[in-house]
Amino acid sequence: MEEGTRIYTVLGVVSCIVFLFLNFGDVHILPFSQPRMSFVERNGSHFVVDGNELYVNGWNSYWLMDQSVDDFTRHRVKKILRRGSEMGLTVVRTWAFNDGGYNALQQFPGIFDERVFRSILMRKNSISGVEYRNEPAIFAWELVNEPRCMSDASGHTLQTWISEMAKFIKSLDSRHLLTVGLEGFYGKTTPNKIELNPGDWAVSLGSDFIWNSQVEEIDFASVHAYPDSWIPNVELEDHLKYFSKWVTSHIDDGEQILKKPVLFTEFGLSSHHKGFKESHRDQLLKTMYGKIYESARKGGAGAGALVWEFVVEGMEEYRDDFAFVPWRFPSTYQLIVEQSCRLQTLFEGEAQVNKSLHAACSS
């Protein structure tokens, strides 16, 4: 990759979840040559690479680590990364942990093995020979997925844990960005915002979006959004209205309170709910993508969104009711590509759109 270009391909995630930075370029699995890449950094409420603002269009595939182990499943990982690049996606979020059993990161509920934490961060990439903590292809680390502590609804227990673990991670790896992994529920420290939660139950979970995200070592805020799961038995129109308010509120928080980027690290619509149509998912994507694009246009804190979740063909055992194969649904696929195109052209111009995406952006 030529010096000074901003064509990146992102592969990244830890929960420990890892966000892999797929770099805006084309993915080449083999033969391997390490491209020149810079670390993603934060400047106020923006992600930046080489001083240029970065707005993310990405996805979740939590299964990458598991499916990378065996030769007979590794092709699935190669395929989803290649297809993600073809869609112009820049970040994939995946698991980098295991619970219970031999060499577990979390040995028992709330009991973590520091040795395993260190082994993740200091492990060498078997292809490039670079330690993970020095690997710019990793976009960021996430402490934990959807943390809750219902035994302490005040939020103090979780806040103490986040603060302690964030300091620990940064002591091992100061180069990568770090986020918590929150769902985004407002807590008791912001009583004026509690009404924006999807229900009264959300304030009793022990998490507190503003307070948790204000920890100094946390570089950006993470938010999830599942309107049909959180608020059942209402019409799609009501789900979309709530979803829109939820997204806007958190972007505003990033700009006005946190002064940090806000990344919507999971969002989706269940296919198991009565009356589901693929067009419903498309409407949800349109809403999110519109909010992120408007944020990007004005230089706002809404830094991007990652769909939950993508799988490839033949992965029925890994499907939940949100999972789908994106290239099987032309309208959805086109929405995803269009978002990649307009974000890249907004900052790069048409001449810099990666090769695999150029034809789609021109159509």
Phi, psi of 160 (to 5 degrees): -65, -40
Active site residue 255: no
189 close to 159: Cβ distance less than 8 angstroms: no
357: Cβ contacts below 8 Å, ≥ 6 apart: 86, 87, 88, 337, 340, 341, 344
Helix (H) or strand (E) holding 14: strand 9-14
Catalytic residue among 142, 183, 255, 266: 266
Secondary structure E strands in 194-261: 221-225
Cα 280 to its chain centre, rounded Å, is 22
Q: Which of 360, 264, 280 is nearest to 322 (CA)?
A: 280
Active-site residue identified among 146, 217, 278, 348: 146
Q: Which residues contact 301 (CB under 8 A, 6 or more apart)?
A: 45, 46, 251, 253, 254, 255, 258, 259, 260, 261, 262, 295
96: nearest Cα among 71, 119, 78: 119
How far apart CA 39 and CA 57 sit, in angstroms, is: 17
**Residues carrying an active site annotation:** 146, 266
